[in-house]
Amino acid sequence: MKTKTLAFIGGGNMASAMINGLIEDGTDPAHILVAEPNQARREQLAVRFGIRTLEDNSEVARQADVLILAVKPQALEAVAKDLSPALQQQAPLCLSIAAGIRHASLQAWLGEDVPVIRVMPNTPAMLGAGASGLYAPGDINETQRELAEHIIRATGIAVWLDDESQMDALTAVSGSGPAYFFLFMEAMQNSAIKLGLPEKTAHLLVLQTALGAARMAMESASDLTDLRNSVTSPGGTTEAALNIFSNGGLAQLVDQALTGARDRSISLSESLGGDE
């Protein structure tokens, strides 16, 4: 892994997060390449990480052992088709982090002989706290799977999906999920201010409480129901609040929201599918 050349097509925020994680994990910056059309962005990446940057996508692809496609979904078809001739020479392992682009479309655009794995990261990857899902068809071998997982784990956890259709559910849960928690924290903060707490105090308390609860859940052997029950005394303040959430249909609302996000992911995949 440490001697392979990792190349990125696109040098945006998610690519930067992955590059930062890889370097912190021990990857030599000399083995990382980025193709980025924006000159200022290329210079920023080179200075920040000590990596090589080029303007030409195909030149970068020809040098890659692993190629990470980190461009916007709407641009990926044109970029992939343009890369295809170069990839036929090298046939690197390709990872696509573009949301909504199905494997069959990627394979058709890049070339049938190019090994392709889909990845769905989320924005906390920028802090090394990401949650990413991966999908690979049966012809991807174990060595290629391990290589992809190693790269993705540099930004957080990585889980493999058995069926590509599960990618839409994962998008609804972890891909969009940070925004759900931000919304809930925002609502808690606003309520805390209405209850008389200063804005800065409310903000700090809400964020630290969210962080502490997440750490407890990650580090505990108990499931979420047991953890909730452990801090809910009968007749106490927590039970009063939880009863209001329950009576207001919180569980049903969450189910509707995630289903809506999943369905939107499916429709976006169909619209972006191109030649699939």
pLDDT tens per residue, range 31-60? 999 999 999 999 999 999 999 999 999 999
Task: Give yes or no for residue 75 having a pLDDT over 80.
Answer: yes
pLDDT of 273 over the 80 cut: no
With a cut of 60, say whether residue 1 has pLDDT above it.
Answer: no
140: phi > 0 → left, psi -120 to 50 → alpha, else beta; which? Answer: beta
Whether residue 271 has pLDDT greater than 60:
yes
Residue 2 pLDDT greater than 80, yes or no:
no
Phi, psi of 98 (to 5 degrees): -80, 120
Say yes or no to pLDDT of 230 above 60. Answer: yes
Strand 130-135 to 116-120 pairing: antiparallel
CATH code for the domain defined by 177-268: 1.10.3730.10
Q: What DSSP string runs through 168-228?
A: HHHIIIIISHHHHHHHHHHHHHHHHHHTT--HHHHHHHHHHHHHHHHHHHHH-SS-HHHHH
Mean pLDDT for 159-169 is 95
> Where along the chain do its domains lie?
6-171, 177-268
Asked if pLDDT for residue 149 goes beyond 90, the answer is yes
**pLDDT over 60 at 275, yes or no:** no
User: Would you state the torsion angle of the CA atoms of residues 147, 153, 159, 164, taken in this order, to the nearest 10 degrees?
Assistant: -60
| Residue where the block lists tokens 């494997």 | 103
β-strands 66-69, 6-9: how paired? parallel
pLDDT in tens, 78-105: 999 999 999 988 789 999 999 889 999 9
0.95 cut: is pTM over it?
no
Q: Is 92:61 a contact under the CB 8 Å cutoff?
A: yes
Can you give the pLDDT at residue 247? 97
Strand, helix or coil for residue 134 = strand
Name the token pair of 188: 């808690």
Percentage of residues in the chain having pLDDT higher than 70? 98
Helix (H) or strand (E) run with residue 152 in it: helix 142-152
- Quickly count: other Cβ atoms within 10 Å of residue 245's Cβ: 11
Q: For domain 6-171, is the CATH number 3.40.50.720?
A: yes
d(CA 229, CA 239): 9
Report pLDDT for 276. 44
In terms of average pLDDT, the best of 114-123, 196-205, 263-272 is 196-205
- What's the CA angle centered on 266, arms 92 and 122, to 5 degrees? 60
State the number of CA atoms in the 13 A half-sphere of 253 facing the CB: 8
3 state DSSP class of 4: coil
**How much is the average pLDDT of 17-26?**
90
pLDDT score, position 39 = 95
Q: Please, what is the end-to-end C-alpha distance for the chain in angstroms?
A: 32
Nearest alpha carbon to residue 6 among 79, 21, 167? 21
Per-residue model confidence (pLDDT) at position 25: 86
Domain 6-171 identical in fold to domain 177-268: no
What CA–CA distances, in Å, run from 172 to 107, 138, 169, 205, 261? 24, 25, 5, 27, 5
Q: Tell me what the mean pLDDT of segment 153-157 comes to.
A: 92
Distances (CA, A) of 133 to 27, 99, 252: 22, 11, 25
Query: What pLDDT score does 62 carry?
Result: 92
- Average pLDDT over every residue of 259-275: 85
Copy the structure tokens of residue 151. 């790269």
Whether 212 shows a pLDDT value over 90: the answer reads yes
Average pLDDT for the chain: 93
